[in-house]
Amino acid sequence: MPRAGLTPLSVTEAAAGLIDEIGFENLTMGLLAERLGVKTPALYKHVTSQADLVHRIAVRAMAEFADAIRDAIQGRAGTDALAAGAQAMRTYVLEHPGQYATADAAAARPTGPDDPIIPAVERVVASWAAMLRGYHLDSGQEIHALRMLRSALHGFSTQEAAGGFQIDASIDDSFTWMINFLDRGLRDLTADATSLARTSPPGGH
């Protein structure tokens, strides 16, 4: 039965759900039209092209991703914020692998300075920074910590979503082990900085 009352938002939402099922690389306007019960040309009343549709999905997904991490770490700090934010990221990637892949690709190639993906990415980075705030890193360390955090969580989550962990051992245990490892390393940085400050002579000479 044809689907009446389509809008750019409803088309984008349907496409987002579809790519979580079939993968970003397999999305076509024909498959989406079939899912919505319309002819393919009807979709172009709501989006200008498949590239436009994919970008809409990416912006929507990145905003949802930012919200998920923000909500998870609300009122938390240090180890608790790290663990909660990391789990929120892992859960989002597992539940929305196609959308996450689409958003990640778009974030690497913004269309210009006014691309709405940019503020969405900035919100994600702000949430990652908030996850690290309780460790009291200096500005020089924070950028390295942010890159480490993103790399570790992205790598683990996308590998898990792709079924890349085949060894017969608990994936949950491995994830917890990784977070504990990151936490210990971050706390060691804080302890080293505190120790150095206490032992440095007045005036730093």
For residue 131, give both structure tokens: 């996850």
**pLDDT recorded at residue 191:** 67
Task: Write down the pTM of the prediction.
Answer: 0.87
For 129-174, the pLDDT digits (tens) are 999 999 999 888 999 999 999 999 999 999 999 999 999 999 999 9
Please check whether residue 172 is in contact with residue 154, taking contact to mean a CB–CB distance below 8 angstroms.
no
Can you give the pLDDT at residue 69? 96
pLDDT along the chain (205 residues), means of 10: 74 97 94 96 95 96 96 95 97 97 93 94 94 91 94 97 94 97 91 55 56
Radius of gyration (C-alpha) of the chain in whole angstroms: 21
Domains, the chain, ranges and CATH? 8-195 (1.10.357.10)
Q: pLDDT at position 196, please?
A: 46
**Residue matched to tokens 């750019």:** 8
Closest CA to 55 of 132, 109, 3: 109
CA–CA distance, 68 with 62 (Å, rounded to integer):
10
Separation between Cα atoms, residue 156 and residue 11, nearest integer Å: 31
